[in-house]
Amino acid sequence: MRRKMFALVGAAGLALSAASVVRAATTFTENFNSGDVTDGGVWSTGVVSNPSNVSFTEPVGGPLTIGVSGAAAGTTEGGYIQTTSQSTCNPITSPLLMTVTAPVVNNVQQSLLPSANTNFNSAETMLGVAAPGQRLDSGPARAYVYLNGGGNLQFSLEFFDPTKTPTPGNNFVNQGVFGSPLPTITPTTAITSMWIYLDGSPQGQPAGATYSSFWIDFGLTYVDTSTNSTGSFDWAVDKQHYAANPYTDPATGKRALNITSHSPYFASYSDAQIQSMMSEFATGAVGELEVLANSNNGSAGNTVSFGQLSVVTPEPASLSVLAIAGAALLRRRRA
């Protein structure tokens, strides 16, 4: 039986501001180049609806490609991979930073942007965590970021709300970024990475606080392949004027917004609701990549390739002032 070891070897990827960057200790990285989509059981695969409409390919040397043919009228088709481990991607046990990057194939930069779709939510590329037995597009316990066919970036955290009236049921926290400051999508725009940061861990609770905290952030990087000009977007930095009590996650020193009843940005959520959303992942969570096509919004199918996915557990802020978000990682194997 093989065991995997992962080592941090450098810095690359997300162009976050110095104050928002955290020192990172790698949990694992997946390079999608083994020739086996499951990588020996690290991942499981699944489909949203019709298996005949979904394909998974990963040649030796990579990349992983998930393809979805046009969805039948009134349906959503999709394919996804999930970690088989329920502890690697759990934001309740430790802070979690997940980053997925687009590959370079035959010297051409690929993009995470859904293919052949320009309509709002016609197709989606999704990254995040879900409770075991659920997936990012369906279920009461999931937290994810997704890039849609119109080039917009959205975040959603869905959970069971015991305080919902007239009867308890599902509730959500949604945040969307539409247009500027995201890049204008042109034929030469490539979304090179997408990431999500979640922290509902004990070390993320402010000292002396009598309320619960769940820290979130998300963003992307991009390049104009005609000019090689690059850029990035960090949602928490864009929203920094809300100074969400406090603005910096005490667990890692990373800039993030705090979903708490004491936050001016999320004041509509009670402490009971926040505790409920955190409890959804208390017994485990799975990391997931998903590709969707939605016929209701004019999808012509969707094919997206992935070059690497890293899952990072940032170190406590006391260990570092600056560090790495979106690190270059080296995976070593030993028997």
Of 114-118, 150-154, 195-199, which one has max mean pLDDT?
A: 195-199
The Cα 40–Cα 199 span in angstroms is: 29
Whether 255 contacts 237, CB under 8 Å: yes
The model's pTM: 0.85
- Cα–Cα distances (Å) from 96 to 31, 101, 161, 258, 322, in that order, read 19, 17, 23, 14, 17
| pLDDT at residue 293, rounded to an integer | 79
325: Cα separation from own chain's centroid: 13
| Enclosing H/E stretch for 274 | helix 271-279
Percent of the chain with pLDDT over 90: 40
- In this prediction, residue 185 has a pLDDT band, given cuts at 50, 70 and 90, of confident
Q: 75: which 2 tokens?
A: 């349906």
51: Cα separation from own chain's centroid: 24
* Mean pLDDT lowest among 55-59, 88-92, 247-251: 247-251
3-state secondary structure of 209: coil
Query: Could you read off the pLDDT of 3-27 as tens digits, one per residue?
Result: 333 222 222 333 333 233 444 465 7
245: Cα separation from own chain's centroid: 24
Instruction: Considering only residues 191 and 314, tell me which one the structure prediction assigns the higher pLDDT.
Output: 191
- Cα–Cα distances (Å) from 226 to 59, 93, 163, 274, in that order, read 28, 43, 52, 45
Phi, psi for 104 (deg, rounded to 5): -105, 120
The Cα 128–Cα 142 span in angstroms is: 8
The Cα 220–Cα 99 span in angstroms is: 9
| pLDDT at residue 121, rounded to an integer | 67
3-state secondary structure of 266: coil
Q: Is the pLDDT of residue 123 over 80?
A: yes
Instruction: Considering only residues 326 and 107, tell me which one the structure prediction assigns the higher pLDDT.
Output: 107
- Cα–Cα distances (Å) from 282 to 25, 49, 90, 132, 277, in that order, read 22, 29, 8, 11, 9
| Enclosing H/E stretch for 90 | none
Query: Could you read off the pLDDT of 305-324 as tens digits, one per residue?
Result: 999 999 888 765 533 322 22
Ranges of each domain in the chain: 3-334
Counting every residue, how long is the chain?
335
| pLDDT at residue 69, rounded to an integer | 82
| pLDDT at residue 324, rounded to an integer | 28
Query: Could you read off the pLDDT of 266-313 as tens digits, one per residue?
Result: 878 888 888 888 888 888 999 999 998 776 555 567 889 999 999 888
| pLDDT at residue 4, rounded to an integer | 35
Q: The domain 3-334: what is its CATH number?
A: 2.60.120
Percent of the chain with pLDDT over 70: 79
The Cα 55–Cα 67 span in angstroms is: 5
Q: 75: how many CB neighbours lie within 10 A of its CB?
A: 16
Encode burial over 310-328: b for 16+ CB neighbours within 10 A, e otherwise: bbbbbbebeebeebbbbbe
The Cα 86–Cα 83 span in angstroms is: 7
Task: Name 275's Cβ contacts closer than 8 Å, sequence gap at least 6.
Answer: 212
The Cα 19–Cα 82 span in angstroms is: 32
Cα–Cα nearest to 137, from 60, 69, 80, 221: 80
Instruction: Considering only residues 153 and 73, tell me which one the structure prediction assigns the higher pLDDT.
Output: 153
Q: Is the pLDDT of residue 217 over 70?
A: yes
